[in-house]
Structures are given as structure tokens and as C-alpha cells.
Amino acid sequence: MLAVENEDATVLGSVGWHAVRHGPGDIAKALNIGITLLPEQRGRGYGTAAQEALAHYLFQTTLVERLEAETDVDNLAEQQALEKAGLPTRRSPPARSVPPRPMARPHPVQPTAG
């Protein structure tokens, strides 16, 4: 778990992750990420920034190939924050919660001959 802080180092909440399976076999693993923010800090962009930074950190420091996040179907603000952070929306009705939102490991950009 990591703290979410503003520019003054005031703790606003936390982000965390845990391993989940996303395919057949034991080697198909992903990380499910989550965030908790103090109610008065929501809607200010801290959640989006923290989740984007967390995704970058996890892809840089682990071998995981996929990130997921789940939200309640009615939590539109969190769904928008995840989309802004790079985790696309995937819905499958009639579930009561939004299914995991995958984010694949970015592939290195190859320089083009110029």
C-alpha cells in the first residue's frame, strides 16, 4: 500500500494492489488496484493522478502484464477516474459491479528509421 499525498505531503488516502488470475494456468496473473480517498479530497483529480502513477510504478517495478480495477456500477466518478488513468471500461450486465478493467503492459516504442 502507498499513501496518496498532495503537493504539501498531506496524506489524502491510499492506493493498493493484490495479485489475481486472469487466464488459464498459474502463470496468467494480473494485479487488481484500488484506491481510498478522504471524502473531502474526491473530485479534485487526486484519484486519477494516483492511479496513473500507480500503474506506471507497477509496470516499471514488476513483471505483471495486466492491471485491473473494479468499481460499483453506480460509482461513475471512479469509473471516469480510471478511464482518465488509462484503464478502459468493460461492462457486462446484469452484474451489480463493473467487471475488472484491464490495462496491458505498454510495449516499448521502437525508433523509426529517419
The backbone torsions φ and ψ at residue 51, rounded to the nearest 5 degrees and listed phi first, read -70, -35
Q: Whole-prediction pTM value? A: 0.73
Fold of 2-104: Aminopeptidase (3.40.630)
What span, in angstroms and rounded, lies between the C-alpha atoms of 95 and 4? 30
What is the residue extent of each domain of the chain? 2-104
Q: Are 30 and 102 in contact (CB under 8 A)?
A: yes
Provide the CA 98 distance to its chain's centre, in angstroms: 14
Instruction: Identify the bridge partners of residue 71 per DSSP, sorted by sequence position.
Output: 98
Q: What is the pLDDT of residues 50-94, one digit of tens each?
A: 999 999 999 899 888 888 898 888 888 888 999 988 887 776 554
Residues in the chain: 114
Residue 34, pLDDT > 50, answer: yes
